[in-house]
Amino acid sequence: MADFYDEMQEFASEMLGEFEQGVVSLSRTVTAAPDPATPWIPGAPTTTVYPLDAVVRRVSQKYVDGTLIVATDNQITFAVPAIVPAMSDTLIIDGAELVMKDLRPIPPAGTPVAYIAFVAG
């Protein structure tokens, strides 16, 4: 069954790459370990940006809950990136860095084929 989801992951990546809109990237900032001589000073942050094959659109009504996700939010569907995305990451859409409100793998269990993220519109 894993082969099926691997094939679907490739297909999703191809389709999202073909229909991608704008420039969408995933940004992850990691803080290095502090110097042992000065452990109270945090280490230097390092930011890595991963390009995404993605489409951006207004959020689908079925996801709107009126609290976390509202009708003016945007929904980003993207192919599986080089790293596993986390809520602590940010999305950069056409140069604007946005915090994710929610992040969902497709399907919700097993090997992800793609991801859906929600950001303020």
Q: Of all residues in the chain, what percent carry a pLDDT higher than 90?
A: 73
Q: How confident is the model at residue 10 (pLDDT cuts 50, 70, 90)?
A: confident
- Residue 14 contacts residue 7 (beta carbons within 8 Å): no
Which pTM was predicted? 0.81
84 CB-near residues (< 8 Å, 6+ apart): none
Nearest Cα residue to 82 out of 44, 32, 25, 1: 25
- pLDDT, tens digit, 9 for 90 and up, residues 15-30: 666 666 789 999 999 9
Share of the chain above pLDDT 70, in %: 92
Peptide bond into 107 cis (omega under 30): yes
Q: Which domains does the chain have, with CATH numbers?
A: 2-33+43-119 (2.40.10.270)
Two structure tokens written together for 121: 């519109």
Would you say residue 2 has pLDDT above 70? no
Copy the structure tokens of residue 98: 């946005």
pLDDT at 19: 64
